[in-house]
DNA sequence: GATGAATGAGCGTTCATTCAT
DNA sequence: TATGAATGAACGCTCATTCAT
């Protein structure tokens, strides 16, 4: 439309685009308000009214963008899960099949995600736990994919080294274990307490531990 | 009182004892009802009335034994935490400073706790997450102690082998990591899905991984 | 229990009875408040809070006695239906198979029910119309029974006179018609306007009309 | 305007006419959508958004044509009332002062209105009952006119037969009664249940009953 | 004229908690 | 001690209505 000479049509197009942009912005504003409040007051502690207030819209508007409170958490969760996989999962998927790459991917969980987005961390590992079957399903879907990212990297590592796993599910079990380690370390040292030691030292210890565990399995 | 010759006092004593016993029983009945309902309906999904109903007492009675709903969860959590440390933490504390002992202690988490008490598992790792500052504090206190159990075993292992940690907090970090592994493995394979592979194989993979990680750290 | 000499047991019995009485009274108080408000503000216009206020109880108490707003209307409707059948339907059921008895029964609809209970009249013929499938079903159930009362009287009249109906459903159709007459007359002259003529004259006209219709059918 | 030679004005006129036609069409489309939804979901169950959706216009457009929801019901009600008086009331008004004509007019209520427009039937006798003072007033206005149609026919019948009424309001009372009969018969056998007997048999029974009632009153 | 995003008062309902008996 | 009826604050949610575009 922008190509033809019709001024009006261009105007329409412009205003439609602007409306689209505003719509997207409002959606994000509400999501951001929910993120902030869910993290600080807890999912149940944050009322829809307070979320609307913080987003500077009316309750009705929140319900215009999200079906209900659970839907809001669900979308927030998916957004966070996407961010986490974008920042960290992608590192595992792109890792160059070296131990160094694998460790760096793990490191990015702490440096790129946890410290930069403590609220997202709190929501994905604390607020969304056990809230409802739907949310739990979404959490599982995310974790399965994230575990898949890690397992994929492990498999590529094994391939490169020409070694194989002890059992069919070993790679998956290790991926689950590694994700569990990351999760609890973040919970312990970032949600529950400030890291008394430097977080990078903590990550380094954990990653060396993982590296050793893998090397040993592979007869290193 | 029961020792003196006063018949009446002995009777009183008897009935006092009986009352004491009944009291304790009621307390446990309510706790058991809460455990069942929290695990199946979720903490928020289980109302005090339904808990009272299942325990075959009135709501008022529940409030006689527990200050409020959070207090009920708190006591339940502590009971479960006690059981878990009794069954598993004790193994770490008593481990004979051999790798075998350390692994067996880890194994008992799955065989003695998770499979035998799936409801306790759901409550401690799902239902009590992020419910309130008080509950979080209780969860943290438990996990700190449990992590201490594991760290203690690690330290004894290191002593025996005559090796030392890379950093001051390394043992703690590893303990946190190991507990995180256990937690997520249990969540993944027991709360979210039936283990497609045999649970003992899963535990064996994880424990070998841990063993390797430690050995490697220690220049094994 | 009151028979044995045990004073305490009598006391318990007394207080239990009193509680029972109070319970019943509260139930009736709430029902009465709802009747008043539904009649004056309409079913949708009357909020649960206002009903509670008028009954001098809390909202929670209303919900203790009634599952929800529809349930409240349903119970009210049934109570009113019972009253109506007690006052009027019974007259039809007991009518002595004379035209006089039949007409007197019809008269009692106006004199015993409509004028004495204008609020019940408004609820059963106005407020409960088309409110929900459940309420509609209850209304139908009541009307079917009431129509049955009238049809029964008609059949007894016919028997006595040794006449038979033109068709299988004629008695029912006439009963439906007669009930419809009563209903609309009451709506017109008592809900919508004060009877410009004397209500008893109106009833007399209608009843003579009915009498004539029946006589004529029977070759009178 | 279309008559003058001004081409432009004719074009304007044409488009003005077209616009006028479209306007009328939109109005009717919305009314039809409301009729359908009020009948199937109930007045309160049908939201303005769903009505707009079904009419394939926006909510704003509905509010352009109708002041508010009550206004929409009011217009719908008047439209239906007009149809009913057109189809049935007119028969009473035009009845040739014979009993046959009077009965045929009554018959047309069932054959021309109820069976052909079950949704209109539901709205006028169920959905618009007790919705608001304004709607009740409109309902009353319609029924008064309809009752007037019937009363007029009755009066002409009486005139022809050279008989007079027992009382001043007798004709009106009978008209109200007859309308009530029709209303409830339709509600009972068309809204609540399929007629187990043939509807025309039902109507025939009712009309014979009426005929007899009248004849008898007039010393027939 | 038409749009549809935005509003917000108001609703029905829940449930942890209390307290007279 | 035990009861369970009573409380009422607080919640999630709806939907008729408005108005800038």
Question: For chain C, what is the radius of gyration of the CA atoms?
Answer: 21
Residue A13 binned pLDDT confidence (cut-offs 50, 70, 90):
low
Residue C14 binned pLDDT confidence (cut-offs 50, 70, 90):
confident
For residues B13 and B2, the answer to whether their CB atoms sit within 8 Å is yes
Q: Enter the tokens of residue C208.
A: 């003579």
**CA C77 from centroid of its chain's CA atoms:** 8
pLDDT for the residue numbered A16: 81
Only one residue has tokens 């995310």, namely: A142
Residue C6 has pLDDT above 80, yes or no: no
pLDDT in tens, C142-159: 999 999 999 999 999 999
CA of A42 to C1' of E5 (A): 29
Distance (Å) from the alpha carbon of D68 to chain C's nearest alpha carbon: 17
pLDDT for the residue numbered C87: 97
Share of chain B above pLDDT 70, in %: 94
For residues A214 and A174, the answer to whether their CB atoms sit within 8 Å is yes
> Span C73-94, mean pLDDT?
96
> Span B50-57, mean pLDDT?
97
Which has the minimum average pLDDT: A16-25, A63-72, C72-81, C109-118? A16-25
What are the 10-residue block averages of pLDDT along chain D, 220 residues in total?
Answer: 48 77 94 98 97 97 97 97 97 90 95 96 97 96 97 93 91 96 97 89 94 83
- Neighbour-count burial for C116-139, b at 16+ CB within 10 Å, e otherwise: ebebbbbbbbbbbbbbbeebbebb
Within 10 Å of residue A98's Cβ, how many Cβ atoms? Answer: 13
pLDDT for the residue numbered D11: 57
Q: How many helices (H) and strands (E) does chain B have?
A: 10, 0
- Mark yes or no for CB contact D174/C127 under 8 Å: no
- Mark yes or no for CB contact C130/D170 under 8 Å: no
pLDDT for the residue numbered A2: 40
Nearest to D176 among C136, C166, C188 (CB): C188
Strand E proximal to C41 Cβ, under 7 A: no
Instruction: Tell whether B163 lies on the interface with A, counting CB pairs under 8 A.
Output: no
- Neighbour-count burial for B55-82, b at 16+ CB within 10 Å, e otherwise: bebeeeebeebbeebbebbbbbbebbbe
Strand E proximal to A54 Cβ, under 7 A: no
Residue B220 binned pLDDT confidence (cut-offs 50, 70, 90):
low
Instruction: Tell whether A4 lies on the interface with B, counting CB pairs under 8 A.
Output: no
How far from D101 is each of D96, D113, D157, CA to CA, in Å? 6, 17, 10
How far from D148 is each of A133, B155, C13, C180, CA to CA, in Å? 62, 102, 64, 18
For residues B88 and B113, the answer to whether their CB atoms sit within 8 Å is yes
Main-chain dihedrals φ then ψ at residue D129, nearest 5 degrees: -80, 125
**CA B98 from centroid of its chain's CA atoms:** 24
pLDDT for the residue numbered C215: 87
CA of A15 to C1' of F21 (A): 9
Nearest to D168 among C168, C169, C197 (CB): C197
pLDDT for the residue numbered A73: 98
Residue A220 binned pLDDT confidence (cut-offs 50, 70, 90):
low
Give the three-state DSSP class for B63.
helix
Nearest C-alpha neighbor of A217 from the set B197, B151, B214: B214
Question: Which pairs from A214-217 meet CB under 8 Å and 24+ separation?
Answer: A214/A99, A214/A154, A214/A157, A214/A174, A214/B209, A214/B212, A215/A99, A215/B212, A215/B216, A216/B208, A216/B211, A216/B212, A216/B213, A216/B215, A216/B216, A216/B220, A217/A166, A217/A170, A217/B208, A217/B209, A217/B212
Residue B6 has pLDDT above 80, yes or no: no
Within 10 Å of residue C44's Cβ, how many Cβ atoms? Answer: 15
- Mark yes or no for CB contact C212/D208 under 8 Å: no
> Span A91-104, mean pLDDT?
92
Q: Enter the tokens of residue D98.
A: 């014979």
Strand E proximal to A58 Cβ, under 7 A: yes
pLDDT for the residue numbered D15: 81
Give the three-state DSSP class for C66.
coil
Only one residue has tokens 């018959």, namely: D107
Within 10 Å of residue D45's Cβ, how many Cβ atoms? Answer: 13
pLDDT for the residue numbered B72: 97
For residues A93 and A156, the answer to whether their CB atoms sit within 8 Å is no
Residue B38 has pLDDT above 60, yes or no: yes
Length of chain A, in residues: 220
Strands (E), chain B: none
pLDDT for the residue numbered D12: 63
Which chain A positions have a beta carbon within 8 Å of B205's beta carbon? Answer: 166-167, 169-170, 173-174
pLDDT for the residue numbered B33: 97
Domains for chain D: give ranges and CATH numbers. 1-66 (1.10.10.60), 69-217 (1.10.357.10)
Concatenating the DSSP letter of every residue in D36-53 gives: HHHHHH-TTTS-HHHHHH
User: Cα–Cα distance between A77 and B57 in angstroms, integer?
Assistant: 40
Nearest to C212 among D147, D184, D216 (CB): D216
- Mark yes or no for CB contact D209/C208 under 8 Å: no
pLDDT for the residue numbered A33: 97
Residue A127 has pLDDT above 70, yes or no: yes
pLDDT in tens, B100-154: 999 999 999 999 999 999 999 999 999 999 999 999 999 999 999 999 999 999 9
Q: Enter the tokens of residue D43.
A: 């007045």
- Mark yes or no for CB contact D212/C216 under 8 Å: yes
> Span B173-200, mean pLDDT?
94
pLDDT for the residue numbered C8: 44
pLDDT for the residue numbered A90: 95
> Span B29-40, mean pLDDT?
97
B abuts C (3+ Cβ pairs < 8 Å): no
User: What mean pLDDT is reported for chain B?
Assistant: 91
> Span A162-182, mean pLDDT?
95
pLDDT for the residue numbered B10: 54
Greater confidence (B8 vs D200) lies with D200
Q: Any idea what DSSP says for residue D129?
A: T
Residue A78 has pLDDT above 50, yes or no: yes
Residue of B nearest to A196 (CA): B169
Does residue D54 come out as left (phi exceeding 0), alpha (psi in the -120 to 50 range) or beta? alpha
Nearest C-alpha neighbor of B113 from the set B55, B177, B179, B54: B179
> Span C52-74, mean pLDDT?
97
Residue C9 has pLDDT above 70, yes or no: no
Residue A157 has pLDDT above 70, yes or no: yes
> Span C24-44, mean pLDDT?
97
- Mark yes or no for CB contact C129/D129 under 8 Å: yes
Which chain D positions have a beta carbon within 8 Å of C208's beta carbon? Answer: 166, 216-217
3-class secondary structure per residue, chain B: CCCCCCHHHHHHHHHHHHHHHHHHHHHHHHHHHHHHHHHHHCCCCCCHHHHHHHHCCCHHHHHHHCCCHHHHHHHHHHHHHHHHHHHHHHHHHHCCCCHHHHHHHHHHHHHHHHCCCHHHHHHHHHHCCCCCHHHHHHHHHHHHHHHHHHHHHHHHHHHHHCCCCCCCCHHHHHHHHHHHHHHHHHHHHHHHCCCCCCHHHHHHHHHHHHHHHHHHHCCC
């Amino acid at each position: 439309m922008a190509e033809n000479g019709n001024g009006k049509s261009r105007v329409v197009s412009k205003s439609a685009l602007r409306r689209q942009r505003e719509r997207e912005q409002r959606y994000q504003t509400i999501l951001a308000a929910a993120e902030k409040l869910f993290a600080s007051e807890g999912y149940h502690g944050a009322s829809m009214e307070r979320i609307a207030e913080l987003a500077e819209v009316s309750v009705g508007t929140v319900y215009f963008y999200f079906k209900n409170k659970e839907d809001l958490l669900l979308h927030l969760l998916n957004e966070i899960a996407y961010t986490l996989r974008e920042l960290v999962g992608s590192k595992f998927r792109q890792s160059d099949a070296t131990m160094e790459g694998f460790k760096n991917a793990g490191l990015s969980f702490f440096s790129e995600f946890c410290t930069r987005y403590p609220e997202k961390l709190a929501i994905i590992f604390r607020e969304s736990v056990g809230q409802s079957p739907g949310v739990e399903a979404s959490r599982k879907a995310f974790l399965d994919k994230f575990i898949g990212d890690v397992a994929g990297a492990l498999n590529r590592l094994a391939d490169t080294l020409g070694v194989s796993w002890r059992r069919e599910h070993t790679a998956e079990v290790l991926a689950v274990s590694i994700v569990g380690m990351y999760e609890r370390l973040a919970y312990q040292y970032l949600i529950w307490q400030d890291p008394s030691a430097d977080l990078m030292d903590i990550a380094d210890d954990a990653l060396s531990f993982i590296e050793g565990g893998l090397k040993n399995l592979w007869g290193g």
